[in-house]
Amino acid sequence: MVTLCKPAVSVPEYVITREETLALARSLHADHPQLPLALRLIENTGVTQRHIVQPIEETLRHPGFEERNALYETEAKARVPKVVEEALGNAGLRPADIDMIVYVSCTGFMMPSLTAWLINTMGFPSHTRQLPIAQLGCAAGGAAINRAHDFCVAYPDANVLIVACEFCSLCYQPTDLGVGSLLSNGLFGDAVASAVVRGRGGTGIALERNNSHLVPDTEDWIAYSVRATGFHFLLDKRVPTTMEPLAPALREIAGSHGWDAGDLDFYIIHAGGPRILDDLSRFLEVEPEAFRFSRATLTEYGNIASAVVLDAVRRLFDAGGLSEGARGIIAGFGPGITAEMCLGRWTAAPVPSLEPDLNSRRIVGYSPAAHPARAAH
């Protein structure tokens, strides 16, 4: 039984409230012809506050892409390990028990990926597989869960660590003055999240089926324009309408599993904005309360990109979890337009005991019998 265990989530110490965001917009863009529209859109997001990695005065200053990307790396290395340690503890595992690390982020760039640094500094085995995902944006949280699920199905004894690191504030571009950009300035926040997917045992969501769906001819609805100044976020005004073509995809994956997407016990949905959740509630014919964990993430943290679904799952745990066998869906949406979806049931399965030898070498997917010459050594 492949199980998504309780995630760990951390947000930076600097906070900007909705009122402060609106005041900044009024002062910075007083002459903008569409300022009233932008202010109304920001107010309607439902976001009351966001956390950012720098004081707002530094965030508004653009020192250049090189310096911003260096800050991304510095902040990631400072903040990710503690969250990873907590996620491992939640799953009852050590670094030596992890067989693959899936690292998702769309707000900075590193090569080698942070996965290599984690392996070198946190005691993960040198044979740990690395899967960095950079270009799925907000959908990457769902994709990380799905790729971890796939790996554990292929290797039932495996355990996969997921890390989502998003510093959206480092993508602020003071020269981008479109309404979509102004809205984004009041919507996105920063966060680090991590979770373990166990191949066997563990309390959490037992993953049963996953799928992806691409809405045709929508590549330019959510995109980055990569320039000398860094990543410029492009958000088309049609994005809030995407639940109409995506709701049938959620119904299809549930139906293929013999479930009704409108009659599930829990919903973990990427909170890109309030209309996404309102429309999905209407199209799936479920009560708005069904998306309470996603709405709480949006209200308290804003849109934290790929970390949203992990934070919403964390809130499900903190609320006391569910009864054994409760059915639900996890869905992340992002550029493409892409949906990454999975189905699962709540489980509190016992955790198998760990190997007592901390120096034992476990290589999932490697069979000594298949390599007798190596095994002899």
Residue ranges of alpha helices (H) inside the chain are 18-28, 35-44, 56-59, 65-91, 114-122, 140-154, 179-185, 243-256, 274-284, 292-301, 308-318, 372-376
Q: Are 42 and 21 in contact (CB under 8 A)?
A: yes
Q: Are 189 and 51 in contact (CB under 8 A)?
A: yes
The verdict on whether 138 is a catalytic residue reads yes
The first and second tokens of residue 156, run together, are 């039932």
Residue 137 gets the label, from left (phi > 0), alpha (psi -120 to 50) or beta, of left
Q: Are 238 and 174 in contact (CB under 8 A)?
A: no
Q: Are 54 and 193 in contact (CB under 8 A)?
A: no
The catalytically annotated residue of 5, 138, 152, 171 is 138
Q: How far apart are CA 294 and CA 34, in angstroms?
A: 29
Catalytic residues: 138
